[in-house]
Structure 1
Amino acid sequence: MAKIYPFRGVRYNRRKIEDLSLVVTPPYDVISEEEQQAYYKRHTNNAIRLDKALVTEKDDKTDNPYTRAAADFQKWRQNGVLIRDETPGFYLTTVTFPIEGKSVTRYGLIGAVQLEPFESGVILPHEETFSKVKSERLELMKACHANFSHIFSVYSDKDGLLQTLKDHIQQISPEAEFTDDSGHFHRMWRITDPKLCRQVTEAMEQRRLFIADGHHRYETALNYREWVRQNDPDFDETHPANFIMMYLCAVEDQGLIILPTHRLLPSVAAETRQHFMQQAAQYFDIEKFDRDGADPGQAVEQLDKSLHKHRNDHIIGLVMKDEPACYALVLKPGVMETLFGDEIAAPLQGLDVTVLTRLILMKLMGFDKQNLDDHSLIGYTSSHDEAVELVENGDYDMAFILNPPTNEQVRKIAEAGLTMPRKTTFYYPKAVTGQVFNQLER
């Protein structure tokens, strides 16, 4: 099964960078242009300059975001801003954050995982990906020969490996502690004990890994390995390009939180919205919550309660522009099986996002697969409040509010070799970039 090993991580030199909060960032794919500029200004050695360097009008084949990232990565290693650990190790991290009024902690183990094609069934995806993003990431890897951000994956901790690691770190001091922009508290320990490292490797050999976040980066790493194979005469099975840096989280971890990803539609005419509601009544029982009373927010609260009440059923919330009500669409029994039969596998039929994508967006609203990839036609947010606000402000005409899938659903779908629609899961919080990098050169 999965082969995971300790590695010689490249980390910020704490003698030069005392406060890691100045140099870490969220993953590249959730950073806006404004945030990108802010990270640039925050510190001259911020990880943004490596993982998502600025684009300029003068960019060409010899001077572009990828070449500049490569130059910075080399310079920072030469001047001691970044240092490579002398011996291999695993990196155990924690992030403590509030959720639903309580504080929870998630544990993540960072190691070097041997790349496997998805067909092997060892490392499994659960979402489809965008090809444009993969090509952009490949250019960065070719220029820098490094992993700057890790793949977030999930495994089943049947033998209590996480507890063993927790016990171990009680005996050693953390290598790093910092609080990020969201107020989340991070800690990291380096695990170098040879016996424990072997125990981690042996335990993971019995496991499959499920990619939670970072499908683009994983597929890019497979393409990068093939590129190295073709261009490096010294390539063999021990070459660093055979491995990818992963952040591994136990599915049993109470801190492993999935948030929903709500859908937002712009430019939907009032007549189209009205026609949709008429069609939807064939397939859904529709609950209506009036918003024109003394407290319009009460209707949204009622919708929230309905979503929670029916969280084990198929239910989708709906808020529309200039509409004095919001709605809960509860799927009638047998609809998906009747409409799609063997076309959609049973585990996928069990997802609210499949109902939204295939029945609502494609069948009732006429979207095709190309439309689903067009961000000018469909927007996303993991915040229920933001989704409602964006419709109320007129930025969007319709918001479809979802419950999140469960970790168990993700596991079953991945094990079945199936993939969810894009933007199905949002693991919260994202694993930060900048705690440790992985150099892919010997």
Structure 2
Amino acid sequence: MPEISAIRALRYNLGHVGNLSDVVAPLADAIDPQRQDILYKRHPASCVRLIANRDEPGDVAGSSDERAARFWRRWQSEGVLQHEAAAEIYIYQQTYPDGDQTVRRRGILCGVRFDSPEDRRLYTATETIDAVVEARYELTRRCAANLSPIVGLCSDPDDRLQDLLDSAIQEGLEITCVDDAGVRHSIWPINDERTIGSIQNILGPSPVLIAAGEDNLAASRKYLNWLNDHEGPVANDHPANFALTLLLRLEDSGDLLDSTHRVVRGGAPLTSEELVARIGECFTCNTIVEGPDAAEVAWTPISGRDHQGRLAIYCGGDRRWVLCEANEAATERLRKRCPQASDEWCELSINLLHHLIIPELLAEDSPSIQECRTIDDVVAAISDDEGCRFAALIPPIDVDAMETIAVQEERLPANAFHLAHAPLTGLVFNPLNRR
């Protein structure tokens, strides 16, 4: 079961930086060049300079990481970042509108011990990308810190944690900021040993399902191994044993996961006629609408979490959207390619795309795949670039399905989904060296 620990964190000195909203940033994988530029201009101490330091003229390999590490050290020496006086756990809350209602999602920011990739206290569902893990590890090693949190889900079926957090919030000091989407992010530092012990007792029996940050987790493991190799055996209570983690209640995660769509480039643009000829044996195909701007219309019939097995595919050759629904032949072909896969794994649209349509039915050889988080991003990608071969809109994955895949030790393609309302980087940093 997970071992949860208070951490001796670093936080922004608000007397130095002013408004916390000006210095926080999205998680690194959500920062594109345009967002990076906005954050750079917003504040000279924005944590984007740590997690997504931009390339500069004359850079060589490692230059941006070393520049980030210099900011990290300098901001501590100048008082921009300050160590907490004591080890703490942080109650975390997101607040955002959903129609006529206000949603509040709560959890805790803390350290979570990890031991090995086979640690059955931590379940992961998606593949990692070696290059991304290496980049996160290099930054972790140079700064000796977790800069962004892993996001994990823990079960709290009797609302014991919820009730405890409700009580603790009433007595704590709220530190808050608002992101560019209007989501309010708040933390309450907790150093009361009795409250921390109660949180540990409630969440201790619950395994952690990793919803985001597998690359950060792998990087933290690699950093711990590096410490053991270069500085001798690391003590059991050393901070590097504990990865910065946001633990959310599994019971509050119904709308947590959003689709990450694909735009495929390379080769001649695909026409709808060619698509149907290639995949028609395995998918029922119907042309539903034309033009890049019709993406929202094409998205409607697959947008529900119960729409697995469906894809809306845009064909760059004739600019048509085709609704594709898997049949029994698709399942049979996928099982031949992946004979150990479970029924739940085979049903997911993302797996049908990556393991059947792209490599076998379309016989794409190492295509260039762009991942898009929103329909608007897809429209921009297929409108501005004539090199689009095809694009695929993918229905969102349900958390229950992700949990099933993780527990069965199966894997989804990297970036199969993203968090609909992700935490921010910059609320809390976790140093991995002793003080």
TM (normalized to structure 1)? 0.89
Shift of 1:111: 0.4
Shift of 1:100: 6.6
Residue aligning to 2:350: 353
C-alpha contact (below 8 Å) 2:6/2:88 kept by paired residues: yes
Distance 2:275 2:6 in 1: 54
C-alpha contact (below 8 Å) 2:154/2:250 kept by paired residues: yes
Does residue 1:147 correspond to 2:146, yes or no?
yes
Residue aligning to 1:430: 422
Structure 1 range deviating more: 24-33 or 36-45: 36-45
Does residue 1:404 correspond to 2:399, yes or no?
no
Superposition CA RMSD, Å: 2.5
C-alpha contact (below 8 Å) 1:104/1:254 kept by paired residues: no
C-alpha contact (below 8 Å) 2:286/2:323 kept by paired residues: yes
Does residue 1:65 correspond to 2:64, yes or no?
yes
Alignment of 1:313-332 (within 5 A): 313-321=308-316, 323=318, 325-332=320-327
Residue aligning to 1:33: 33
C-alpha contact (below 8 Å) 1:303/1:317 kept by paired residues: yes
Distance 2:376 2:403 in 1: 29
C-alpha contact (below 8 Å) 1:249/1:256 kept by paired residues: no
Distance 2:340 2:81 in 1: 51
Shift of 1:347: 2.6
Distance 2:53 2:192 in 1: 36
How many residues in Structure 1 have an aligned counterpart in Structure 2?
A: 431
For 2:121, the aligned partner's letter is V
The percentage of aligned residue pairs carrying the same residue is 25
Per-residue deviation, residues 20-48 of structure 1 (Å, max 9, x unmatched): 01100111222123332332222221112
Q: Secondary structure at the match of 1:153?
A: strand
For 2:422, the aligned partner's letter is K
Does residue 1:336 correspond to 2:328, yes or no?
no
Structure 1 range deviating more: 149-158 or 264-273: 264-273
Q: Secondary structure at the match of 1:378?
A: strand
Distance 1:25 1:313 in 2: 32
C-alpha contact (below 8 Å) 1:106/1:255 kept by paired residues: no
C-alpha contact (below 8 Å) 2:161/2:199 kept by paired residues: no
Does residue 1:91 correspond to 2:90, yes or no?
yes
For 1:382, the aligned partner's letter is R
For 2:195, the aligned partner's letter is L
Q: Secondary structure at the match of 1:435?
A: coil
Which of the residues 409, 412, 416 maps onto 2:408? 416
Distance 1:111 1:310 in 2: 30
Residue aligning to 1:138: 137
Per-residue deviation, residues 167-215 of structure 1 (Å, max 9, x unmatched): 2244224431221122221211112221121111122221111111111
Distance 2:370 2:107 in 1: 30
Residue aligning to 1:390: 381
Alignment of 1:38-437 (within 5 A): 38-59=38-59, 64-98=63-97, 103-233=102-232, 235-254=234-253, 256-270=255-269, 274-291=273-290, 303-308=298-303, 311-321=306-316, 323=318, 325-333=320-328, 335-337=330-332, 339-341=334-336, 342-367=339-364, 371=366, 377-395=368-386, 396-437=388-429
C-alpha contact (below 8 Å) 1:108/1:249 kept by paired residues: yes
Q: Secondary structure at the match of 1:162?
A: helix
Shift of 1:226: 0.6
TM (normalized to structure 2)? 0.91
Distance 1:68 1:226 in 2: 24
Residues 399 and 100 of structure 1: CA distance in aligned 2, closer, same or farther (over 3 Å): farther
C-alpha contact (below 8 Å) 1:347/1:409 kept by paired residues: yes
For 2:120, the aligned partner's letter is G
Q: Secondary structure at the match of 1:366?
A: coil
Distance 2:38 2:299 in 1: 35
Q: Secondary structure at the match of 2:128?
A: coil
Distance 1:289 1:252 in 2: 36
Q: Secondary structure at the match of 2:252?
A: coil
For 2:356, the aligned partner's letter is L
Q: Structure 2: 5+ residue runs without aligned partners?
A: none
Q: Secondary structure at the match of 1:275?
A: helix
Residues 203 and 80 of structure 1: CA distance in aligned 2, closer, same or farther (over 3 Å): same
Q: Secondary structure at the match of 2:251?
A: coil
Shift of 1:138: 1.7
Q: Structure 1: 5+ residue runs without aligned partners?
A: none
For 2:187, the aligned partner's letter is M
